[in-house]
Amino acid sequence: MALGRARHTDSGFNYWPGFVDALSTLVLAIVFLLSVFLVVQFYLSQEVSGKDKALERLNAQIAQLTELLSLEKASQFTLEDQVTQMRAGLASAEAERDRVKGLYEGLAASGNDTAGRAGELNRALDSEKQVTARALAQIEVLNQQISALRRQLAALEQALDASEQKDKESQSRIADLGSRLNVALAQRVQELSRYRSEFFGRLRAILGNRPDIRVVGDRFVFQSEVFFDTGQALLLPEGRAELDQVASALIELDKQIPPEIAWVLRVDGHTDVRPIASPQFKSNWELSSARAISVVQYLVSKGVPPQRLVAAGFAEFQPLDADKTEEAYQRNRRIELKLTER
């Protein structure tokens, strides 16, 4: 049976080796053709790149030639311009030569022409003389104008000198008036000082020697307790009685002082340094001002002219005693009367 299977196998035809040989031959042919194609492609690219480089060299040469041609044309135009200028100069020189030659020939040929030209020169000279005469006339007019301006300038200088003289006189008068005014003011001050002394002396005589009322410099000083309760600005009855006497003295003084003396009685309110704790007054400024105003209003009610009174509040900022004691606080709480100029 095995022998029969072997026989059956040997009797079949084997195509595979021939197929492999044919396929190998085809592959070799294709590889050969590809190699030939690549070689041809390489030579073609080398050739094309060489032609491109040659073309670039040719373009560069063309550009250089174009530039050289432009330069040549510019040089040619420059030379042509120079030639044209030289020809124009030559023509002008020839024309001048011909003109001079004609003049020379004309002078040599005829004396009449010379006489004619002499006449022309004389006429030109006359024309120049006329021009000179007109210029001299204009110069004369200018000289006259300059003289007029000088006269005006002299008149202005005289007016200026007169004005300066008047100014000096005015300054002297002003200085004299100032001196007189100072003398008059000094006299007014002396008169006011005299009336102040009389007023203070009269108040001292009326009020007596009280420890809570005193004279400090040019001021009459009342302790606040004479007129007001602590922290209040309403006049006390005993304070009104004191102010009645002050008002009487002021009314009499107003009759004696001449009306040209501008005097006023300044009422100054002062407090101590301690801040006020009152719903009625927010600060010592308000308390001191309210007290001064109360005194002024009461004096006006008693017949003192209001234009002769001034109210001022200084709070705690003008103390008489800087200590922090009760005695110092009491001295600093005060009402001051000062007779002064308005």
Does the model's pTM come out above 0.85? Answer: no
Rounded CA-CA distance 59/97 in Å is: 56
Q: Is residue 216 part of a domain?
A: yes
| Residues 202 and 336 both lie in one domain | yes
Domain finish residue from 109, 128, 149: 109
| Residues 96 and 226 both lie in one domain | no
pLDDT higher than threshold 50 for residue 7 = no
Q: Is residue 139 part of a domain?
A: no
Give the residue numbers spanning the domain of 76.
37-109
Q: For position 270, which CATH number holds?
A: 3.30.1330.60
Tokens 């004299």 map to which residue? Answer: 176
Domain finish residue from 64, 91, 109: 109
Tokens 């032609």 map to which residue? Answer: 51
Span 160-172, average pLDDT: 78
pLDDT tier, 2 (very low <50, low <70, confident <90, very high otherwise) = very low
Task: Please give the tally of structural domains in the chain.
Answer: 2
pLDDT higher than threshold 50 for residue 308 = yes
Rounded CA-CA distance 16/109 in Å is: 136
| Residues 336 and 194 both lie in one domain | yes
SS3 335: strand
pLDDT tier, 322 (very low <50, low <70, confident <90, very high otherwise) = very high
Question: Which stretches within the chain are classed as H helix?
Answer: 2-10, 16-109, 111-207, 237-256, 284-301, 326-332
Domain finish residue from 109, 127, 159: 109
**pLDDT tens-digit profile of 110-140?**
555 556 666 776 776 677 677 677 767 777 7
β-strands 213-216, 263-270 pairing: unpaired
Rounded CA-CA distance 73/68 in Å is: 9
Q: Is residue 203 part of a domain?
A: yes
Rounded CA-CA distance 270/329 in Å is: 11
